[in-house]
Amino acid sequence: MKLEEAAGQLEALGNTTRLQIYRTLVRAGDNGLPVGRLQERLEVAASTLSHHIRKLVEVGLVTQERQVTTLICRANYPTMNALVGYLADECCMDAGAECSPAIEVEAA
């Protein structure tokens, strides 16, 4: 992954609405969610939701598939994993020692 690509993805996730959309799609799993259901869950105006989803699609974090009249949005897990890997792949390289143990993340 290139620096510019990672920066674009992180920038997209830096917006609270887009981060909320993305986390909701990650939770939905491989089935994804229809746009209408995503709108209901997040209580976001359709035009606002469309704008934010478009940005997530542009940076490759979300995919969309039309099933007849329904538009399904899905988190793009390979892209997500690549971004997380990019952030962690050089962990402690300059420290001259092994990395610290993984940080335990508390549930929000």
Do residues 74 and 30 touch, judged by C-beta distance below 8 A?
A: yes
Ramachandran class of 29: left when φ > 0, alpha when ψ lies in -120 to 50, beta otherwise: left
pLDDT per residue over 93-108, tens digit each? 777 666 665 555 555 4
Does the structure show a pLDDT above 70 at 65?
yes
pLDDT score recorded for residue 98: 65
Domain ranges of the chain: 3-86
pLDDT score recorded for residue 92: 76
Phi, psi of 56 (to 5 degrees): -65, -35
CATH label, 3-86, candidates 3.30.70.890, 1.10.600.10, 1.10.10.10, 1.10.287.130? 1.10.10.10
